[in-house]
């Protein structure tokens, strides 16, 4: 026989009253509003935020320009094809910053040659279309095409809607603080160079590139501090190919933070240098001592299994993300703070070796987001590593070898970048 159906058992009067009381208490508990978390109640109210992303040197080596012309990517043709993988990072930011390590002076200058650069007229609009908004033009290549080249570069950048910091058609313009307001937050930008290949600063009424001097720079930062919520300083400094900042760099950074800098974005070594918290004069800031090459043709023949790890350092870089938050405290006071600092590792894929070996006919350079590229390479290795398919299609073996090489290289570069910049800031 199956189980018996439950019987309806009548409840006594007291039992009914008890049941009703329990139901009432349950309803009362359900309807009661949750108690406020005292810690949450004391937290400041976030009014608005600005997301800034910064990258390093935008170099115009001959093969960089050639790769842009020969790009097979029809969706993002030209220069944007070289950093198509990074476009989402740049376009998602409220402000995207880079160091423009070249004049753009095709009209007044000469064709670029090694160590003396020039960029085509298409570059400024390509940078703006990629999401860039602010570029430092104070660096050792600023005068590569003479004083007229400085002036033409600035005209072309302005025509593309880009903000240039650190140079001007006069000294006064070069030394102007550039203020960008986004989401109710005013961010001041200043640019300085500690290094000149050619110094053509002659008359204050002629094109000028702003030099870095600690005392004068501190005065400029203090003035900017009085005009804006946030002060960002771009510096061109340090020793090429050295991963450790010099004592001069550290002394300058400390002085500028004391004067009012919140974020220092630096370049010139062509390799990465640390990102650090810096506290000076009761103020806290972030210093990126060098963000490396964003796009360049250096270390083009590097191969991870044949060269020491340092052989690829010129192709490492990073996209630094910083969020500035305007907050209101319980007393109603508003203040802008620097929040959520992180970086994403980048690596320039370069097919120069394949070209030399006759395995490619088109020059290609691509900046890769290392974490995403690692995952793609992992999937390629898993897909290609099939003995049966390799036996049926011998060319698949070469594809597998290349996928394995790519995976090893990217994993090595990810570890290398983290070792220099510090794992504290690596985006998860």
pLDDT in tens, 295-343: 999 999 999 999 999 999 999 999 999 999 999 988 889 999 998 999 9
pLDDT at 19 (0 to 100): 42
Tell me which DSSP letter residue 113 carries: B
pLDDT at 38 (0 to 100): 53
CA torsion sign, 194 to 83 to 375 to 400? negative
- Among the listed residues 111, 132, 110, the one whose alpha carbon sits nearest the alpha carbon of residue 123: 132
**pLDDT over threshold 90, residue 88:** yes
CA distances to 27, 194, 268 from 24, rounded to whole Å, are 5, 76, 72
Q: Are 196 and 211 in contact (CB under 8 A)?
A: yes
Beta bridge partners of 116: 113
**pLDDT over threshold 90, residue 363:** yes
Greatest Cα pair distance in the chain = 109
- The C-alpha angle with vertex 377 and arms to 373 and 378, in degrees rounded to 5, equals 115
Model confidence pLDDT, tens digit, residues 46-66? 999 999 999 999 999 999 999
Q: Are 63 and 300 in contact (CB under 8 A)?
A: yes
> What's the CA gap between 403 and 140, in Å, rounded?
38
Model confidence pLDDT, tens digit, residues 141-187? 999 999 999 999 999 999 999 999 999 999 999 999 999 999 999 99
CA distances to 230, 252, 290, 320 from 257, rounded to whole Å, are 12, 9, 17, 19
pLDDT at 69 (0 to 100): 92
Q: Are 224 and 188 in contact (CB under 8 A)?
A: yes
Model confidence pLDDT, tens digit, residues 345-354? 999 999 999 9
Model confidence pLDDT, tens digit, residues 107-134? 999 999 999 999 999 999 999 999 999 9
Beta strands 365-369 and 334-350 are: antiparallel
**pLDDT over threshold 90, residue 273:** yes
CA dihedral in degrees (23, 29, 31, 33; nearest 10)? 180
Model confidence pLDDT, tens digit, residues 203-233? 999 999 999 999 999 999 999 999 999 999 9
What residues have CB less than 8 Å from 96, skipping those under 6 apart?
52, 53, 54, 55, 90, 130, 131, 132, 133, 134
42 or 126, higher pLDDT: 126
> What's the CA gap between 41 and 333, in Å, rounded?
16
Per-residue tokens: 258:
């004391």
* Domain annotation for the chain: domains and CATH numbers: 42-352 (3.60.21.10), 371-425 (no CATH)
Q: Over pLDDT 70: what percentage of the chain?
A: 89
**H/E/C letters for each residue in 213-247?**
CHHHHHHHHHHHHCCCCEEEEEEECCCCCCCCCCH
């Amino acid at each position: 026989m199956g189980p018996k159906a439950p019987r309806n058992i009548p409840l006594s009067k007291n039992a009914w009253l008890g049941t009703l009381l329990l139901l009432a208490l349950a309803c009362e508990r359900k309807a009661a509003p949750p108690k406020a978390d005292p810690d949450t109640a004391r937290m400041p109210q976030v009014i608005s935020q600005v997301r800034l992303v910064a990258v390093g040197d935008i170099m115009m080596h001959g093969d960089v320009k050639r790769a842009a012309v020969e790009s097979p990517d029809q969706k993002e043709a030209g220069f944007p094809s070289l950093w198509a993988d990074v476009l989402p990072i740049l376009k998602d930011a409220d402000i995207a910053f880079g160091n423009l390590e070249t004049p753009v002076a095709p009209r007044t200058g000469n064709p670029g040659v090694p160590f003396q650069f020039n960029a085509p007229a298409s570059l400024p609009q390509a940078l703006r279309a990629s999401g860039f908004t602010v570029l430092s033009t104070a660096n050792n290549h600023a005068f590569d095409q003479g004083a007229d080249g400085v002036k033409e570069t600035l005209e072309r950048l302005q025509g593309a809607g880009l903000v240039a910091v650190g140079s001007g058609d006069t000294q006064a313009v070069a030394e102007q603080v550039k203020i960008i307001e986004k989401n109710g937050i005013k961010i001041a930008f200043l640019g300085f160079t500690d290094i000149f290949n050619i110094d053509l600063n002659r008359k204050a009424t002629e094109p000028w590139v702003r030099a870095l001097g600690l005392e004068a720079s501190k005065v400029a930062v203090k003035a900017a501090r009085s005009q804006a919520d946030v002060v960002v300083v771009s510096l061109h400094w340090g020793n090429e190919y050295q991963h450790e900042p010099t004592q001069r760099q550290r002394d300058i950074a400390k002085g500028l933070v004391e004067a009012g800098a919140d974020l220092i974005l630096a370049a010139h070594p062509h390799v990465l240098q640390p990102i650090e918290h810096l506290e000076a004069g009761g103020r806290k800031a972030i210093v990126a001592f060098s963000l490396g090459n964003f796009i360049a043709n250096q270390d083009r023949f590097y191969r991870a299994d044949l060269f020491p790890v340092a052989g690829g350092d010129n192709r490492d870089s990073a996209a630094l993300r910083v969020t500035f938050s305007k907050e209101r405290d319980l007393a109603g006071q508003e203040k802008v703070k620097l929040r959520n600092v992180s970086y994403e590792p980048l690596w320039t894929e370069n097919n120069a070796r394949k070209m030399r070996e006759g395995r490619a006919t088109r020059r290609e350079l691509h900046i890769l987001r290392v974490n995403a590229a690692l995952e793609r390479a992992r999937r390629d290795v898993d897909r290609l590593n099939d003995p049966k398919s390799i036996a049926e299609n011998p060319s698949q073996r070469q594809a597998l070898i290349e996928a394995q090489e790519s995976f090893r290289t990217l994993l090595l570069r990810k570890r290398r970048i983290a070792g220099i910049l510090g794992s504290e800031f690596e985006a998860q």
